[in-house]
Structure 1
């Protein structure tokens, strides 16, 4: 990865504003993204776990991931998978 985990998290979380987004990245580069319906509740619009973040080497890959995540809002996914290069 060319970007730090903090930079990747910031880019992804910022892309969902004004909604609240929480992105966590584990040491093995497995990512979880949660997008909340609003700022007052913990109701999730999106939960995706097991995203393989090892391929997020630049803006293009991050933008593709964000586009895939945005297309799946109001969808809860809990099975581990690689979002890069695969349809959900």
Structure 2
């Protein structure tokens, strides 16, 4: 299954709701994903160098989102998490 970059970004951003999530494409065809608390605006997680080519199925995207949510929960109240 092949998803476009915009579809992948949209799915990730929607799955991270209610947090504010933004995805940006880097020159090396990887994603940088930034997740902020919807109330405080505090940065909860920044995932860099996420290889776009590995996000080739809904399951792969769901696994990434689950991993990011786990990292956010594990580090609540601590400095923003860098996840790569």
Is the CA contact 1:20–1:39 (under 8 Å) kept in the aligned structure 2?
A: no
Check conservation: 1:31, 1:52, Cα contact below 8 A.
yes
Unpaired segments ≥5 residues, structure 1: 82-88
Structure having the higher helix fraction is 2
Once superposed, what is the RMSD of the aligned Cα atoms? 2.0
1:5-62 deviations in Å (ceiling 9; x for gaps): 1100000000111111001122532111111012563x20111111112111111111
CA distance in 2, matches of 1:21, 1:39: 13
Give me the whole-angstrom Cα distance separating, in 2, the residues matched to 1:67 and 1:29. Answer: 22
TM-score, normalised to structure 1, is 0.76
Closer, same or farther: CA 40–9 of 1 in aligned 2, 3 Å: same
Query: Which runs of no fewer than 5 residues in structure 2 stay unpaired?
Result: none
Q: Secondary structure at 2:10's aligned position in 1? A: helix
TM-score, scaled to structure 2: 0.79
C-alpha separation between the residues in 2 aligned to 1:76 and 1:3? 27
Most deviating of 58-67 and 6-15: 58-67
Equivalence for 1:15: 15
